[in-house]
């Protein structure tokens, strides 16, 4: 089992652009990234062609390939990975929606475990747009939603990654869900 301190040291090496550091990092975080990707892809509509392994690899390449590697710790790295997966899924949804040329919006239902039941690409795009608006007014709430909705973390896991108590995370989650629900209802 990989210790958090080992991951922190490798992340520091990657940030400092040491040769082969990125090659050492992937095996250390691969299982967790794959679990996150599998959780997210399970919510995708039938006919999804993106595989778990492909999502992990594409997200990892985006993380390592981008010039700004400023991960301070495990939390920052997994938050960045969740963002990368979010962008990949949203980009794919936009691409598919563009092919259909505005096939209409559908209602997004919120529940306790996920922000939306992502049955369609249009729903992913609606949530993405609303999440961008939430980030502008409350970045921590948007980050919590990203970790839960796009990365599939549980509330306790997301709280740990954000460095906040479960109680604070629960209050933030209720606020974010309510805000997003109202925002999405006003559009539907």
What pLDDT score was predicted for residue 115? 46
C-alpha to C-alpha distance for 9 and 15, rounded to whole angstroms: 10
Instruction: Provide the greatest CA pair distance for the chain.
Output: 50
What pLDDT score was predicted for residue 112? 40
Q: Which residue has the tokens 């590697």?
A: 69
- Residue-level pLDDT, tens digit, the chain, 188 residues: 556 678 888 888 877 777 777 778 888 888 888 887 887 777 666 666 778 888 888 888 888 776 566 777 788 888 888 888 888 888 887 777 665 544 455 544 454 434 444 446 677 778 888 889 999 999 999 999 888 877 778 899 889 888 999 999 999 999 998 888 888 888 76
Using CB atoms within 10 Å of the CB of residue 159, give its burial: 0 to 12 exposed, 13 to 18 middle, 19+ buried: buried
**CA angle (143 as vertex; 142, 147 as ends), nearest 5:** 115
The whole-model pTM stands at 0.56
Residue 131 to residues 50, 126, 175, Cα–Cα distance (Å): 23, 8, 13
Residue 123 to residues 3, 71, 80, 170, Cα–Cα distance (Å): 38, 31, 22, 24
Closest C-alpha among 180, 150, 145, 25 to residue 88:
150
C-alpha to C-alpha distance for 4 and 8, rounded to whole angstroms: 6
With both helix axes pointing from N to C terminus, report the angle between 74-100 and 155-162 in degrees, rounded to the nearest 10: 120
The domain ranges of the chain are 4-187
Confirm if 113 and 177 have CB atoms less than 8 A apart: no
């Amino acid at each position: 089992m990989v210790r958090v301190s080992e991951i922190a040291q490798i992340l520091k090496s990657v940030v400092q652009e040491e040769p082969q550091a990125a090659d050492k990092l992937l095996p250390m975080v691969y299982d967790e990234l794959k679990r996150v990707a599998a959780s997210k892809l399970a919510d995708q509509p039938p006919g999804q062609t993106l595989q778990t392994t492909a999502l992990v690899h594409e997200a990892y390449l985006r993380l390592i390939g981008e010039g700004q590697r400023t991960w301070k710790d495990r939390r920052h790295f997994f938050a960045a990975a969740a963002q990368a997966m979010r962008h990949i899924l949203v980009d794919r949804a936009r691409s598919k929606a563009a092919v259909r040329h505005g096939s209409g919006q559908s209602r997004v239902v919120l529940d306790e475990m996920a922000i939306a039941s992502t049955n369609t690409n249009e729903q992913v795009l609606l949530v993405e747009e609303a999440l961008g608006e939430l980030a502008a007014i409350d970045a921590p709430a948007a980050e919590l939603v990203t970790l839960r909705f796009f990365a599939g973390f549980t509330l306790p896991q997301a709280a740990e990654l954000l460095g906040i108590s479960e109680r604070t995370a629960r209050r933030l989650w209720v606020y974010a869900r309510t805000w997003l629900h109202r925002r999405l209802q006003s559009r539907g």
